[in-house]
Chains A and B, each alone.
Chain A
Amino acid sequence: MLRFFLRRFTVAVLVALTVLTLAFLLTRLSGDLAISIAGPNATAADVETIRQVYGLNRPLHVQYFDWLGRAVQGDFGDSFFFRDRVANLIASRMSVTLTLGLVGLGIALVVSLPLGILAAVREGTWVDRAVSLVALIGQAMPSFWLGLVLMVVFGLQLGWLPISGTGSWEHYVMPGVVLAFSAIPSLTRLTRSGMIEALASDYIRTARAKGLSRLSILVKHGFRNAAIPVVSIAAVQLGFMLGGSIVIETVFALHGIGYLAWESISKNDFPVVQAVVLVLALLYIGLTLAADLLNAVLDPRLRTG
């Protein structure tokens, strides 16, 4: 188990380093940074000054290691636009996005796991077909539209929930539901197919021959084995939720990392864009690593493999 962990961890660190390097190279490859920063009306002297101030006149490898050294410590420099440290910006926005993502994933799991198991147990019946239909509708529904509908119904007409902002837990309910809707179809389908496969296996027949209870057969023996692909996809889905919630953050006026990315891109705020991309990439790497480890806990065969 320790060897498995160390190997996965090493791979994760290597991928993270590659991402850091790519992030650095991409900003340098996208043209002369000093000219971009100086803006369209700058003189040659202005550009040269900027080059001096930002250290862009140094050799590339020196710039790289200098940048890497600071990035590893969480120092991404200052934002051009927000008049704040990039690290501070990311930290404050990240908490909103993390909360939203975890609420979304939580709702998605609470809905899709029981639905998937139910559909598998009742395979081929009207229950199964109804679940497939719900999944299909969920997949087909654009999230901004669902968000607006929820706002109109629960926010404006019924007045149960606030429609924008991040003041209390109630603010996260509607965006969480909308975010969950994007993950529910794939998680439900994966749970269903995994359970169907598990329930048809020989060890389930053994479990029944042992006289175990229906609950133990379904959950302990069935779902434990069906959960492995679900864990992997749930990790990817959480990654999508954290990195791709721009639409929902915009609809609900939640100032999260997605909103920050959109703002900084539209304002050419390079240090922020670079840091957002990096943080999201690192989050993905972290989530994949977590999913691998969780799977190794679930399936002993993976630990030696």
Chain B
Amino acid sequence: MSALLEVQGLRVTIGSTAAVRGVSLSVNKGETHCLVGESGCGKSITALSVMGLLPKGSLRETQALRFAGEEIGRYDERQMERLRGDRMAMIFQEPMTSLNPAYTVGSQMTEVLRRHRGTPRAQAVDRAAELLARVGITAPGLRLGQYPHQLSGGLRQRVMIAMALMCDPELLIADEPTTALDVTVQAQILRLLAGIQKDLGLGILLITHDLGIVARIADRVSVMYAGEVVESAPTAALFAAPEHPYTRGLLSCVPVPGKVKRDEPLGSIPGVVPRIRPGFAGCGFRDRCSRASAACAGAIPRRNAGDSHEVLCTLEPGWGGKAAA
């Protein structure tokens, strides 16, 4: 099956920062692909590049950027406008500020359908009400007439999701959709996303730094660090046999009930994600890595560590034994 979204060799430079450095990933129809990593490692920039929504002054280069078989890397702004909101949709981390305070929920939702399909207002309103009900909002008729400030964060994120679904997109990009929400609401939103995907069969690119979320809904995981995908694998394989020292570090930071003993310190990775300048060579993680060697300053091989399991590291796959982490 050909991939719904295929990104090859994506590079984004913003000013004097190399924000994304040769990212390749693909999302199949009906698949949830999670992009994980710390803040500032280029996850959101990768997602915005796909949508063509990069901030002013950023430079995007790709070897290939294919959506449903079409090369969209060379699309101009008008062509991207037609794609966005229609065939590919995006939801964001900040539900509190992502809706326009000046317009009702209904007006903002119907706008998408009217723009892309020219649907008459009455029909668009019906569709909006239907989707609000689909995302678990009771009394959709009432909500359509309300303004964003009258809704809670969880409700607003549901509205964002419903709005993203207005045109039946093939690809949904979700940039940390639950980070700003209460834990109970987080679970509801994740269940909702999983349910929608099952029913509608769309491809989801989900950005998160929460490995708990990954374990629950991802089919495939790409771990990003300093603008690169350092490890990519099916979810089960990644959790069972993490290869990259960074992935191992991330996993050790997550407390697992029953496995972690009281008073035993949780793992942590010292330092912060570095700002990488253009022309940087070698592994971006080497300054924080306990296994770093002289070879880490040179070219890093992309190794195969199993069935569609790739890792970007100088260490041989299996270096730490399968039971590690």
Q: Contact: A203 with B97, CB < 8 Å?
A: yes
**Distance from B160 Cβ to chain A, minimum over Cβ atoms (Å):** 7
Bound-state Cα–Cα, A301 to B61, Å: 42
Q: Is A299 an interface residue (CB 8 A)?
A: yes
Closest to A303 in B: B147
Contacts of A213 in B (CB 8 A): 81, 115
Q: Which residues of A contact B (CB under 8 A)?
A: 201-203, 205-214, 216, 221, 224-225, 298-301
Known pairs A209-B85, A209-B92, A210-B112. 4 more at Cβ < 8 A?
A202-B94, A208-B53, A216-B111, A298-B102
**Distance from A295 Cβ to chain B, minimum over Cβ atoms (Å):** 11
Query: Which 5 pairs show the lowest CB-CB distances between chains A and B?
Result: A211-B85, A211-B84, A210-B85, A202-B97, A203-B100
Query: In the complex, which of the residues B83, B84, B101 contacts A225, with contact meaning CB atoms closer than 8 Å?
Result: B101
Q: Contact: B85 with A212, CB < 8 Å?
A: yes
**Distance from B179 Cβ to chain A, minimum over Cβ atoms (Å):** 14
Contacts of A209 in B (CB 8 A): 51, 53, 84-85, 89-90, 92
Q: Is B204 an interface residue (CB 8 A)?
A: no
Which of A206, A210, A298 lies at the interface centre, i.e. has the most chain B CB atoms within 10 A of its CB? Answer: A210
Bound-state Cα–Cα, A174 to B89, Å: 52
Contacts of B94 in A (CB 8 A): 202
Q: Is B86 an interface residue (CB 8 A)?
A: yes
Contacts of B97 in A (CB 8 A): 201-203
Closest to A224 in B: B102
Q: Is B25 an interface residue (CB 8 A)?
A: no
A-B contacts, 10 of them at CB < 8 A, read A206-B100, A206-B160, A211-B80, A212-B81, A212-B85, A216-B111, A299-B101, A299-B102, A300-B147, A300-B149
Q: Contact: A211 with B81, CB < 8 Å?
A: yes
Query: In the complex, which of the residues A206, A208, A300 contacts B102, with contact meaning CB atoms closer than 8 Å?
Result: A300
**Distance from A46 Cβ to chain B, minimum over Cβ atoms (Å):** 65
Closest to B100 in A: A203
Which of A203, A211, A221 lies at the interface centre, i.e. has the most chain B CB atoms within 10 A of its CB? Answer: A211
Q: Contact: B85 with A205, CB < 8 Å?
A: no
Q: Contact: B100 with A221, CB < 8 Å?
A: yes
Bound-state Cα–Cα, A206 to B89, Å: 10
Q: Contact: A202 with B81, CB < 8 Å?
A: no
Contacts of A299 in B (CB 8 A): 101-102
Q: Contact: A301 with B149, CB < 8 Å?
A: yes
Q: Is B66 an interface residue (CB 8 A)?
A: no
Q: Contact: A211 with B115, CB < 8 Å?
A: yes
Contacts of A221 in B (CB 8 A): 100, 102
Q: Is B241 an interface residue (CB 8 A)?
A: no
**Distance from B57 Cβ to chain A, minimum over Cβ atoms (Å):** 10
Q: Is B163 an interface residue (CB 8 A)?
A: yes
Contacts of A207 in B (CB 8 A): 100
Q: Is B190 an interface residue (CB 8 A)?
A: no
Bound-state Cα–Cα, A207 to B92, Å: 12
Contacts of B29 in A (CB 8 A): none
Q: Contact: A205 with B98, CB < 8 Å?
A: yes
Bound-state Cα–Cα, A225 to B147, Å: 14
Contacts of A205 in B (CB 8 A): 53, 92, 98
Q: Is B99 an interface residue (CB 8 A)?
A: yes
Bound-state Cα–Cα, A300 to B101, Å: 7
Q: For chain B residues 45-92, which have a beta carbon within 8 Å of chain A?
A: 51, 53, 77, 80-86, 89-90, 92
Closest to A299 in B: B102
Q: Is B286 an interface residue (CB 8 A)?
A: no
Q: Is B209 an interface residue (CB 8 A)?
A: no
**Distance from B159 Cβ to chain A, minimum over Cβ atoms (Å):** 11
Bound-state Cα–Cα, A97 to B194, Å: 65
Contacts of B248 in A (CB 8 A): none
- Given A206-B92, A300-B149: A212 and B115 interface contact (C-beta under 8 Å): yes
Closest to A298 in B: B102
Contacts of B163 in A (CB 8 A): 210
Q: For chain B residues 16-65, which have a beta carbon within 8 Å of chain A?
A: 51, 53
Q: Contact: A202 with B92, CB < 8 Å?
A: yes
Contacts of B112 in A (CB 8 A): 210-211
**Distance from A118 Cβ to chain B, minimum over Cβ atoms (Å):** 16
Bound-state Cα–Cα, A138 to B53, Å: 37
Contacts of A225 in B (CB 8 A): 100-102
Closest to A225 in B: B102
Which of B82, B101, B116 lies at the interface centre, i.e. has the most chain A CB atoms within 10 A of its CB? Answer: B101
**Distance from A187 Cβ to chain B, minimum over Cβ atoms (Å):** 20
- Given A206-B160, A301-B149: A211 and B83 interface contact (C-beta under 8 Å): yes
**Distance from B99 Cβ to chain A, minimum over Cβ atoms (Å):** 6
Bound-state Cα–Cα, A299 to B103, Å: 8
**Distance from A274 Cβ to chain B, minimum over Cβ atoms (Å):** 43
Bound-state Cα–Cα, A202 to B98, Å: 5
Contacts of B104 in A (CB 8 A): 300
Bound-state Cα–Cα, A216 to B103, Å: 13
Contacts of B80 in A (CB 8 A): 211
Bound-state Cα–Cα, A225 to B80, Å: 25
Closest to B102 in A: A224
Q: For chain B residues 188-239, which have a beta carbon within 8 Å of chain A?
A: none
